[in-house]
Structure 1
Amino acid sequence: MRNKFNHRGHREEIRKMVCISFRFLCVRCGKYLLFSLLAALLIAPTLASNQNRQPTPREKRIRYDIKLALNFDERTYSGFEQVHWVNRGDHATSTIFFHLYPNMRAPDYIAPNQKNELGQVTSDEPRLEVSEVHAVSTNALIPFSFDDLQTTLRVNLREAVQPDAAVDIQIKFKGSVPEIDPEETGIVTHVLQQVSAAIRSERELRRARDTNFMCRGVMMLATSFPILAARSGDDWLRKIEPSIGDSLTTDAADFDVTIESAPGVMIFTPVVAAELTHKEKTDSRHFTAETVRDFAIIAGRNLKSEEHRIGDITVRSLFRADHEVIAQRVLNIAGDALRIYAAKFGPLPLKTVTITEVPLVSTLGSAEFAGLGAIASAFYVDFDSPTMRNMPDVIRDQRASVEDSLEWTVARVVAHQWWGATVGNDAGREPVLDESLSNWSALLYYREMHGEQQTTNALEEQLRGVYKVYRTFGGDDMEASRSSREYRNSFQYAAIVSTKGALMFEALRQLLGDEKFFAALRDYYSANSLEVADMDDLRGAFIAGAPVEQRRAVSRTFDRWLSSKRGDEDIGPPDPKLAEELGLPPRTETKGDKTMLTPFAKLGKFFWQQMTKIR
């Protein structure tokens, strides 16, 4: 096998493929489709009224009081939550909806029938079950039911809640998470997944197990409890649709969370524990957080943390002991990114921002939550460590690509605390509002940290290059304004949503100049902080901030980058030189064939034959 990898021609082909894979491996995407855009004269007054919005007083905020008992070794948990829900709509309602995200399944999902030594069916997906719902005021049982394949909990109140009034209910629940095979989380598997996306046009869908699992001694609970569905006026955003993007859409709320676990199990959340109590058989940690959209939990026995103070915010890096060198670099990058974004966009309503390594599966490079960003452990690669000697040459040769991708990813993940966590948007419908804007923010980080030359390189490699490689492999240009479910896989999503969307913001910056561009972005951030924004809000902010004579050009810029197929003109067409170097034949496609091999198949077949031998 060693001789095969050292064969000059074959080895060079593999090197090129792996290098290209790393260029878009971390440019992950997530969330939503563009709404219809209003005319500038209709949006500007809305923006002005939003800017005068006052912070919501505490008694008018949604609140979760959660008590969770975690059985780390059994991968199970149980608990109660008391939910204070405020009706912010215009009409009374007697129905409240919660999402049970761990129960999300792909349409073609088939449950396994394998059993463990105890005769229990081994599940490969997480599960969240609700057994009781009570009214806090009377302790009376409240009827409930499940919709949408048990992903939605419908609570039928006995009395309607009037506008601006509130109700308190208690929910009893329990859950479990699967154990993920470590083979699914390694760097070679991550690279193979990306190459597979290039070779075939097979559909990828996010699974609940992607962010609710146990692997390599680390447990991740992204959504361990029933969480209120977001609302727009009187309308509940009820439906959860599996796609290549994120499905989590929630309103900001206050959290008071107590977690019990066995001694020695470390618990990390978006905030630092306010209190730790040691008992005979359990440790109890108490956490409080204000105005956050979710409450992700990381648990493990071998986790460490380092932190820096940036202004009023504590930045933490969580890691396994053998990744300390890379985790320290991640901490430094995160601190610099937070400082830059706070100066350019405005302050965060958070006291802590945590970046953690997590053994994410190969279809996911990162995952973002309020106050917490998770990056795949596969990218915590210390090229100076002895373990790298066991890696294939094609991986070790890509040191610069891996390190650049990690820096870009950390900067992008931190930016999600502004775009997605603080300014929310409708998950699954409008990815430009958080994913594209966070990706462009990483470019801003490069400009502020490394100067114009490295920014130009990052613009070409992390943005333009992703689109051009995608087109060279035979991918079709698409509108960036489609819903996330319309993109087949992460390769296509990164090329269209992350790249074209991010480049739209760069085009707006060049059109308006830095002063007006950042003023508009700050206005958008301030007006929609802790709200659920839509594309009208973003477009309105830029039109309102532009001189009258440039407003039509701003509108055309939005339309050109998001609603048209002008990528080859604006970014670049398929690269014939790259195609020739990789041996890509002219593309042929049978209409309607969605699983056919692309022109990359010949080279990809050889790549698969070699890489699958490396274990």
Structure 2
Amino acid sequence: MKVFSSRAIRKIVNNLKHKKMFMIFITAAIFIFIIGIGIYRIKMSNYTVFEEIISKIQKLNEYEIDAVYYDEEKIIEGTEKIIYVNNTNKTLDSLYFHIYPNVFKKRDTVPFDKNEIEIAYINGFEPGYINIKSVKSTKEGLSYLIIGKGNSILKVKLNEGLEPEDSIKIYINFMVKIPPASGRFGYGKNTINIANWYPIAAVIDNSGWNLEPYYSIGDPFYSDVSNYRVTMTMPQNYIIASTGDLIKRESIEGNYKWSFEAKKVRDFAMIASSKYKIAEDDVDGIAVRSYYFDDESAEISLNAAKDAIKIFNKIFGKYPYKHFSVAASDFFIGGMEYPKLVFIDEGMYKGNDEILEYIIVHETAHQWWYGLVGNNEVKEAWLDEALTEYSTLLYYENKYGKEVKNKVYKEIILGGYNRFRSSIRDNKEVLLKDLGKFNNSREYHALVYCKGAMFFESLRRELGDKVFFDILKVYYDKYKYKNATTEDFIKLCEIVSDRELKSFFNKWLLGQKE
């Protein structure tokens, strides 16, 4: 963009003899200036993508949580202040929050398949839940209702409508009972898994409020990026791995008060253990940590996380946070992703090192696809899971070579899919559907993970490596800290490739014929 000096501008003005000409000049200059700063070009060899620079800047919600953990009772008492911003174009009369711990209150609502309950509760079922003690605004108390399947939704009625772009402070006092479950939320012999544990604002988008239940299939979460400040007071024998950056740790009457801060993250999770050892290293300026129990597993877990971060930084774009942690846990399902923190089944550390590496890499890839580029994991689970599974293959290709990648693809992806296909008769396979429409976890895994990864392999062959990897970089850059949809991804692929791809996507995602 050409820039004029103030002297040159004065000379031009002095030379203008008519006021009308002056106004035309000013109008034209302003127009050119707006166009110049409003649009930029991303050039990548054979295509050009235009993006608007000036767009509405969405303000983030703010969470401040002050919590105390009581070890004997396995209870957390907490206060939460949420500064909620109305980023819609309409007035809101009520706000909705997910209160996920309540689904653990009854055996018939826990988010496990029936054949998993005995594994999750190895010492027998006991309830977990969240009690909402009070909900207030800055000035007064607010009325609220507990609704939804498993009483997992908190509806807060506002005393005055919240106008677009306005914000309100909501104060919630709550108590959480942690169940003896080896899942995302629960405790076992080694760890206390504190995830999906506090009231978190539901997403409101073009379809309205998203109040889907906590399904036993998949990862049924959908949230906006927010800023967090969290304190957790626990006995001094515990070490905490967390989404947040540790600001300080204070000793208070036999306890430690851990203060964390996390900016621009989608959720906030913690895991605590009195048995943790920590291995740490740096990669690309990021502190990578492994929280482990047995010495022989420390190097494997740390190296897998480091190498994955380095490879994905190169392929997709730089990981923007200061740290990333991999934590061994009482978690029988394999692995689970949270911003800057992943849970890994501690049993995997005692078995096959190759499987451990695969799971760690998969969960690390989720830092890009779910953590940074978000999506509705209930309605469009394929969008993050399939891309994450294929990203795991890209790790093997970059670290070990194409031959190893192809072997992993054949054994894990094609093998998993073909074993599923051989056991069913239905020829129409739909990847893009709500979690509640999958028959079981086996079908979900075969279609969303395996066939989803097959789709990305096919898309790569269809478009060629140059365009395919440009798509991933542009997708990450465009939707980082936002929520994307399948339609967003299709449109982006079409723009970058300069091709019509709707029928190609429909064939894979909806089982339609081209």
Report TM bin, short chain: 0.7 to 0.9
Go from structure 1 to structure 2 and tell me whether the alpha carbon gap of 1:123 and 1:406 turns closer, same or farther (over 3 Å shift): closer
TM-score (norm 2): 0.83
Q: CA–CA distance in 2 between the matches of 1:359 and 1:49? A: 47
CA contact (8 A) 1:100 1:226 kept: yes
> Which residue of the partner structure matches residue 429 of structure 1?
379
* Aligned ranges 1:425-504 → 2 under 5 Å: 425-474=375-424, 476-477=426-427, 478-504=429-455
Distance apart, 1:294 and its partner CA: 0.8
Match of 1:381 in 2: 350
2:94 aligned with 1:99: no
Question: TM-score, structure 1 length as denominator?
Answer: 0.70
Question: Residues 264, 218 of structure 1: CA spacing in aligned structure 2 closer, same or farther, 3 A cutoff?
Answer: same
Q: Tell me, what secondary structure is at the counterpart of 1:104? A: helix
Contact kept, 8 Å, 1:51 with 1:523, in 2: the verdict is no
1:42-53 equivalences under 5 Å are 52=53
Q: Which residue of 2 aligns with 1:132?
A: 134
Which secondary structure state, in structure 2, belongs to the residue aligned with residue 210 of structure 1?
coil
Q: What amino acid maps onto 2:238 in structure 1? A: V
Q: Aligned residue for 2:505?
A: 558
1:222 aligns with 2:172: no
Structure 2 counterpart SS, 1:375: strand
Work out whether residues 440 and 502 of structure 1, in 8 Å CA contact, stay in contact via their aligned partners in 2.
yes
Q: Which of 357, 363, 370 is matched with 2:339 structurally?
A: 370
User: 1:485: Cα distance to partner?
Assistant: 2.1
1:7-26 mapped onto 2 (5 Å cutoff):
none
What is the Cα deviation at residue 106 of structure 1? Answer: 10
Contact 2:126 2:180 in 1 (8 A): yes
Give me the CA root mean square deviation. 2.3
Contact 2:128-2:176 within 8 A present in 1 as well: yes
CA distance in 2, matches of 1:272, 1:534: 30
Decide whether aligned partners of structure 1 residues 561 and 373 sit closer, same or farther in structure 2, where only a CA change above 3 A counts.
Answer: same
Q: Deviations over 1:4-46 (max 9, x none)?
A: xxxxxxxxxxxxxxxxxxxxxxxxxxxxxxxxxxxxxxxxxxx
Q: Is the 8 A contact 1:53 1:527 kept in 2?
A: no
* Alignment equivalent of 1:418, drawn from 358, 364, 368: 368
Could you report, residue by residue, the CA deviation over 1:348-390 in whole angstroms, capped at 9, with x for unpaired residues? 23221111111213xx2211111111111121116xxxxxxxx
Cα offset for 1:133? 0.9
Task: Tell me which protein shows more helix as a share of its residues.
Answer: 1
1:460-483 Cα offsets, whole Å, 9 max, x none, are 011001111222344755221222
What is the Cα deviation at residue 452 of structure 1?
Answer: 1.3
Tell me, yes or no, if the aligned pair for 1:275 and 1:287 is still in contact at 8 Å: yes
Paired residues for 1:315-394 under 5 Å: 315-320=288-293, 322=294, 324-361=295-332, 364-381=333-350
CA–CA distance in structure 2, aligned partners of residues 326 and 277 of structure 1: 31
3-state SS of paired residue (1:289)? strand
Tell me what 1:86 maps to. Answer: 85
Report which structure shows greater RCO (CA 8 Å, sep ≥6): 1
Is residue 105–residue 128 contact of structure 2 (8 Å, CA) maintained in 1?
no
SS at match of 2:433: coil
CA distance in structure 2 between the aligned counterparts of 1:152 and 1:280, rounded to whole angstroms = 36
Amino acid at match of 1:414: T
Residue identity opposite 1:171 in structure 2: I
Question: Residue 94 of structure 1 aligns to which amino acid in structure 2?
Answer: D
Report the alpha carbon displacement of residue 243 of structure 1 after superposing the two structures with TM: 3.7
Q: After superposition, where does 1:202-221 map in structure 2 within 5 Å? A: 210-221=183-194
Q: Tell me how far 1:217 sits from its aligned partner.
A: 2.8
Establish whether residue 240 from structure 1 lines up as the match of residue 190 from structure 2.
Answer: no
441 and 146 in structure 1: CA distance in 2 versus 1, 3 angstrom threshold: same
Following the alignment from structure 1 to structure 2, what is the Cα–Cα distance between the partners of residues 312 and 300? 27
Instruction: Please list the CA deviations of residues 521-566 of structure 1 after superposition, one character each: whole Å capped at 9, or x if unmatched.
Output: 211111111111110111111111113xxx23x3333122211179
Distance 1:123 1:145, change over 3 A: farther
Quote how far apart the aligned CAs of 1:422 are.
0.6
Structure-2 separation of matches of 1:263 and 1:69: 13
Q: Spell out the pairing of 1:175-324 with structure 2 (5 A cutoff).
A: 175-180=176-181, 210-233=183-206, 235-320=208-293, 322=294, 324=295
* C-alpha contact (below 8 Å) 1:106/1:242 kept by paired residues: no
Partner of 2:144: 144
Is residue 91–residue 234 contact of structure 1 (8 Å, CA) maintained in 2?
no
Pick closer, same or farther for the CA change 1:405–1:473 going to 2, 3 Å. farther
| Partner Cα distance (2:97, 2:54) in 1 | 27
**Contact 2:104–2:128 (CA<8 Å) still a contact in 1?**
no
**Separation (CA, whole Å) in 1 of partners of 2:200 and 2:157:** 16
Larger radius of gyration: 2
Three-state SS of the structure 1 residue aligned to 2:246 is coil
Equivalent pairs, count:
451
CA contact (8 A) 1:245 1:485 kept: no
Contact 2:64/2:81 (CA < 8 Å) preserved in 1?
yes
Q: Given residue 136 of structure 2, which amino acid in structure 1 is its aligned partner?
A: H
- From the two aligned structures, give the one with the greater strand fraction: 2
Which piece of structure 1 moves more, 457-466 or 237-246? 237-246
